[in-house]
Amino acid sequence: MAWNLYQLCFLILFISLNRRSVLSWRIQNSTDDQCPPQPHPLGMCKARLAAYGYPCEEYQVTTEDGYILSLKRIPHGLSNADNSTEDRTPVLLFHGLMVDGFCWVLSTPKQSLGFILADAGFDVWIANCRGTKSSRKHTSLTPEDPAFWDFSWDELAAYDLPAVLQFVYNQTGGKKVHYVGHSLGTLIILAAFSEHKLIDIVRSAVLLCPIAYLHRTKSRLILLAARIFLAETIHMLGFHEFNPVGRVAQEVLGQVCTDPEVDCYDLFAAVAGPDCCLNTSTTCIFLQHGPQSTSVKNMIHMSQLVRKAGVRRYDYGNEKENMKHYNQPEPPLYNLSSIPTHVPLFLTHGGQDFLGDVPDTRHLLRTLVREHDSDDIEVLYMPDYAHGDFVMGYNAPQLIYKPIVEFFERH
């Protein structure tokens, strides 16, 4: 990427930012009283599942490129403990960007999808992608090595997703796996399906807030960050890990939030849209658990989706590097129209979602529905829902999760 005078001036501005950023001030003054930090020394199994009496098994899965991922299992619910796991169909839950598998059990057993599926008779598996708190191990690297963070969602689709899906498939005796993805968890399965991968081990796929096309996102914060090449600036400064509650993120938002068109007093709404249906207790648990790290390279890749129409592999910024990686000057497209038409799909999206915004999502739907078998695709539109409502909404069990269970039972 060629740097113009404006971008170089911005780079100098970024370096000189005071660490007491706008974000740190607003977080400190708006959430400490309501949601005091309570870092829990226990993992998800002991902190959430055991607390409600649910069984939990922990596994480690090593990807082809050496990342050691944490995978949790809820083999049964409270009301059906006597049934053998051999009679249960496996379901894999894959989280979105800058969160981890904890998001599926944030609330009570009656409110959280992980618990609800287990009580409905499914064998529930919960993934945690590379870089999150429980998946920061590698066969030869540590998180202090820049090479550890040399990944984007291309690698999640190519390595993390196949590794955990294949592990679940093998552990359950070769049973095809139902899949649920939220946000980035939908993008990686769509990318894999577009290359006709994993089709033989996936039984069906549920896509909550499907993310593919981001060119028309309604988030002014996301648009501004992408247009001024903010993630690229961070990378040029030598940062490789992006911790959304760390110093770098505070300085980034301290700069972006000075724009009069960006309202950072409600960061959830500024990024993902105004949620209709979150309660304070669930939001507090989410904030106390803490958003999760990803790579700066992954943030760059997401920004590329915002700046350019289409869904492409990571763009290395010049023809020489792209030729080295792809043997062509432009990064290849993921051809979503080539997704096999027989794979049962359930897609649900919200009218207030800034990330999976309506125009981009409808573009995705036109791409998929045009050729898909009508009996194998269902779409549920929630006009009042934004991005977080699908995993934390107090009315999601009735409006979203019940139809998901019924969809799985049909397939």
Distance of CA 250 to the CA centre of its chain: 21
Note if 183 is an active site residue. Answer: yes
Q: What is the DSSP string of 343-387?
A: S-EEEEEETT-SSS-HHHHHHHHHHHHTTS-GGGEEEEEETT--T
The Cβ of residue 80 has, within 10 Å, a number of other Cβ atoms equal to 14
Residue 349 annotated in active site: no
Task: For residues 59 and 57, give the distance between their C-alpha atoms in angstroms, rounded to a whole number.
Answer: 7
DSSP 16-40: T--SS-HHHHHHHHHHTTTS-----
Instruction: Quote the CA–CA distance of 168 and 57 in Å, as a whole number.
Output: 12
95, 203, 199, 202: which is closest to 153 by C-alpha?
95
Q: How far apart are CA 158 and CA 63, in angstroms?
A: 10
Alpha carbon distance 108, 104 (integer Å): 10
Catalytic residue among 353, 357, 360, 389: 353
Out of 152, 183, 293, 303, pick the active-site residue: 183
Across 36-156, the runs of DSSP E, i.e. the strands, are 57-62, 67-74, 90-94, 123-127, 137-138
| CA proximity to 187, closest of 328, 366, 355 | 355
3-state secondary structure of 203: strand
Cα distance between residue 264 and residue 270, in whole Å: 6
Per-residue DSSP letters for 229-264?
Answer: THHHHHHHTT--EE-TTSHHHHHHHHHHTTSTT---
Which residue among the candidates 235, 301, 387, 411 is catalytic per the annotation?
Answer: 387
Active site residue 353: yes
Q: What angle is formed at CA 159 by the lines to CA 243 and CA 308, rounded to 5 degrees?
A: 65
Cβ–Cβ < 8 Å for 175, 86: no
Q: Is 174 left (phi over 0), alpha (psi -120 to 50) or beta?
A: left
Q: Are 178 and 93 in contact (CB under 8 A)?
A: no
DSSP 312: B
Estimate the crossing angle of helix 5-15 against helix 247-256, to 10 degrees: 130
Give the residue numbers marked as catalytic.
Answer: 183, 353, 387
